[in-house]
Structure 1
Amino acid sequence: MSADQRRAELSRFLRTRRLRLSPELAGLRNVDLSRRRTKGLRREEVAALAGISLPWYTQLEQGRDIQVSDQVLDSLARVLRLDADERKHLFFLAGSRRDDAMPADEREDVPASLRYMLDQFSALPAYICDEKMNVLAWNRLAEAVFGPFESTHPYGRNLVWRMFMMPSHRSMYLEWESLAKTMLGHFRPKYARHLENPWYKDFVAALSAGSPEFADWWDDYEVHCSYRHPYVMEHPEAGRLHLDPQIMQIDEQELYLTVFTPDLHDGSIQRLAMLNERDGSKVRS
């Protein structure tokens, strides 16, 4: 990501966080809300609460080329009530650390050893994704639970695309909105780290055009660096399944293994085992 791209993304992030915070939550008293034209805090209020000058904060939010200390970032994170994921994202956008991950088009395909590992999770759904959240390889039970991953559509294997754009897929989830927002918040930092890659902008544009929910929530700028939302679904063959994703980064090239474990007490184990009785558990890609 270039320095200009990083500053522009920082500008958008700071503005969304400022506008979502009410004066009451920020600790400001005796504020006349009737005279406000916009929601959230004003720039001068953020600057005063953080102990920095208004011109300096204005330049920061406008994406100007200025140096930011960790002390100032700590103050902004405190004032804007950022959670741990948002604070991490703020420091990333405000810093100059280069992302050394190898681009996807320079990587080899999923190694045979990882495909073999997937094959060993015969009783649990499992798949491997890249940094774009594209499913690269999966076991038979993952396909039985989540539907076919083979697709002629350029985004057909992408988890975010499937969640927002495939009616048969999204209709299975009993907590679809909460799950979709969490998944989108997990995708957002990945997008920010790869702004120089046109794939991300094309992907976001296609989703924004096709899904009103995505377009609205993308502007909210939610950030979730961790992704542990349970999958509660009404499977067309197995019935109610409650699955918890366990996500592990498996190498330095941004490959991620996700293994889904069933709830131990609500019958999900037995219903998942029913699906597992189908022949085969080979990895496909």
Structure 2
Amino acid sequence: MTELGKYLRSCRARVSAEDVGLPTAGRRRVPGLRREELASLAGISVDYIVRLEQGRVKTASPSILSALAEALMLQQDEREYLLRIAARETSPSTANRSARPRRQQVSAGTRVLLDSMVNVPALLLGRRMDILAWNRLGAALFTDFSKVPLIHRNHIWLTFQDPQVRDLYEDWAQVARECVAYLRMDAARYPDDPELAQLVGDLSLKNADFGTWWSDHRVRSQRQGRKTFHHRIAGQMELDFQMLDLRSGGDQSLLVYTAEPGSSAAEALTFLTIWATTQTGEAVERDSASDT
């Protein structure tokens, strides 16, 4: 079964008949919508949905994909993912193959920007959520990235495999599931990235939770939100995060954490800032020489 087929089946399983106003009389052997119900809602044939899920469709028009997305109640990120994988699998000759992996480099201007952000933790993320660079407070919040092997200097890898990073999160499971959804969105953007495939394979073997959540086929783009941290030095902090795209960096984003002014989290972050500036560098090295 193709990725498109797996995704459509996963989306069908997440939508109940009640969600779309269909009658629910009778016993259901599987969760979610039946193919017949999805076909009726989308205005297409059951046979076409079967062939889509089995990977036997050579072309899928935007109007059909839009109808399926509407029937499955997909959000913006999920619609984007559906269109990307459908273009790749049903129309390979016209699919966007320009987004192939490129060498990830950190510009001098970006390094200066990170250095100037002395009061907020900040990480520069590339493809696969690789950690390309960071500022002093970013290292103080998470870990000394300079001591992490380059192959594991990845936000998702550390979230799943590094006990110190894992213990930072009050709701680790929620954070980790979101990371998996971010990575699956990246997989649609860069289907030919061998390092992404290796990351998924390694984590699937080493962590059962990752394998389970990857199979759920949930997708999400990184934007903004809030996380609660339990830091070994600063204590509990509820921080807001934002993902800021860097136009000059192409596929690079700046992950920045902030605290609400006057809050206990702001006081804890100030304390962490002071602590970080007193260190000799053993735990808060600020930057990377990542170049992959």
TM over 0.5: yes
Alpha-carbon distance between aligned partners in 2 of 1:127 and 1:99, rounded to the nearest angstrom:
28
Alpha-carbon distance between aligned partners in 2 of 1:37 and 1:279, rounded to the nearest angstrom:
60
Q: Does 1:188 align with 2:180?
A: no
Alpha-carbon distance between aligned partners in 2 of 1:68 and 1:101, rounded to the nearest angstrom:
21
Aligned to 1:132, the other structure's residue is in SS state helix
Aligned residue number for residue 223 of structure 1: 219
Alpha-carbon distance between aligned partners in 1 of 2:150 and 2:115, rounded to the nearest angstrom:
26
Aligned residue number for residue 98 of structure 1: 96
Aligned to 2:237, the other structure's residue is in SS state strand
Contact 2:144 2:285 in 1 (8 A): no
Cα-to-partner distance string for 1:84-110 (whole Å, 9 max, x where unaligned): 2111211222234415346233x4x21
Aligned residue number for residue 3 of structure 1: none
Contact 1:231 1:244 in 2 (8 A): yes
Alpha-carbon distance between aligned partners in 2 of 1:153 and 1:189, rounded to the nearest angstrom:
25
Aligned residue number for residue 4 of structure 1: none
Q: Does 1:263 align with 2:255?
A: no
Q: Given residue 113 of structure 1, which amino acid in structure 2 is its aligned partner?
A: G
Cα deviation for residue 42 of structure 1 reads 2.0
Aligned residue number for residue 8 of structure 1: 2
The 3 A distance-change label for structure 1 pair 102 and 45 is closer
The 3 A distance-change label for structure 1 pair 166 and 86 is same
CA RMSD of aligned residues (A): 2.1
Aligned residue number for residue 234 of structure 1: 230
**Hey, which bits of structure 1, 4+ residues long, moved more than 4 A?**
none
The 3 A distance-change label for structure 1 pair 269 and 255 is same
Alpha-carbon distance between aligned partners in 2 of 1:97 and 1:267, rounded to the nearest angstrom:
49
Aligned residue number for residue 281 of structure 2: none
Alpha-carbon distance between aligned partners in 2 of 1:125 and 1:283, rounded to the nearest angstrom:
11
Contact 2:38 2:71 in 1 (8 A): yes
Cα deviation for residue 143 of structure 1 reads 0.5
Q: Given residue 249 of structure 1, which amino acid in structure 2 is its aligned partner?
A: D
Alpha-carbon distance between aligned partners in 1 of 2:233 and 2:147, rounded to the nearest angstrom:
22
Contact 2:225 2:240 in 1 (8 A): yes
Contact 1:129 1:257 in 2 (8 A): yes
Q: Does 1:157 align with 2:161?
A: no
Q: Does 1:63 align with 2:63?
A: no
Aligned residue number for residue 81 of structure 2: 89
The number of aligned residues is 275
Alpha-carbon distance between aligned partners in 2 of 1:16 and 1:31, rounded to the nearest angstrom:
23
- 1:276 pairs, out of 273, 276, 288, with 273
Aligned to 2:251, the other structure's residue is in SS state coil
Cα-to-partner distance string for 1:236-276 (whole Å, 9 max, x where unaligned): 01011121112111135201111211122431112111121
Contact 2:143 2:164 in 1 (8 A): no
